[in-house]
Amino acid sequence: MSQELPADSIRELIMNAGDVVNACKVISAKDDTKYNVDGVEDDADGIEDDADGVKNDVDGAKDDADGVKDELGNVKFGVKTELDAVERYRRLAAYMEVLQNQRLLNIIENNPELTQAQYAGQLGVSKRTVSRMFSLLQEQGLLEQQGTRRKPKWAVRKFI
């Protein structure tokens, strides 16, 4: 058989039940706060790790940029070196041309009646090269043709 509780007891139980519910809510809120704090701490750790990763990426990018800068410096140095070599080659070629022209003029002075083919044989170059050399020397006024076209005699003009 069931017993009926007086109304005052029921009210008291309901009030106590409300306190228990409120206490449970407070405990639950504390637990939620604890979990939330733990979650925030985990999020902060994750953000810290992400920041470290970004810092490492930036450092890596700086290293890559330094490497590219070094390579660019090497390329500039290489290009400058190659340009210097080309310029030295051009100067050497011009100097060799002057020497070869001087040799031809010396041969002509000693043998003014030879043919261009014979001059080429003495210089060790082709007849076409000697022909170009003759044209250049005539333009410069260092060599003049005397005699006939068929039987030319060459005169080297001296400048002091």
Q: What is the pLDDT of residue 14?
A: 62
pLDDT for the residue numbered 149:
80
SS3 for 104-151 is HHHHHHHCCCCCHHHHHHHHCCCHHHHHHHHHHHHHCCCEEEEECCCC
Each residue's pLDDT, cut to its tens digit, for the chain (160 residues) gives 556 656 566 566 566 666 666 666 655 655 555 555 566 666 667 777 776 777 777 777 777 777 777 776 666 666 677 777 778 888 888 888 889 999 999 999 999 999 999 999 999 999 999 999 999 999 999 999 888 888 889 999 876 4
Three-state SS at 160: coil
Instruction: Please report the pLDDT score of residue 160 as a whole number.
Output: 46
R_g of the chain computed on alpha carbons: 52
Handedness of CA 100, 144, 111, 134 (dihedral sign): positive
State residue 7's pLDDT score: 59
Q: How many residues does the chain have?
A: 160
| CB proximity list for 109: less than 8 A, separation 6 or greater | 156
| Whole-number pLDDT of residue 79 | 65
Asked if 140 contacts 149 with a C-beta cutoff of 8 angstroms, the reply is: no
Q: Could you give the 3-state DSSP secondary structure of residue 88?
A: helix
User: Can you give the pLDDT at residue 119?
Assistant: 94
CA–CA distance, 2 with 84 (Å, rounded to integer): 115
The SS3 of residue 156 is strand
Tokens of 43: 């999020």
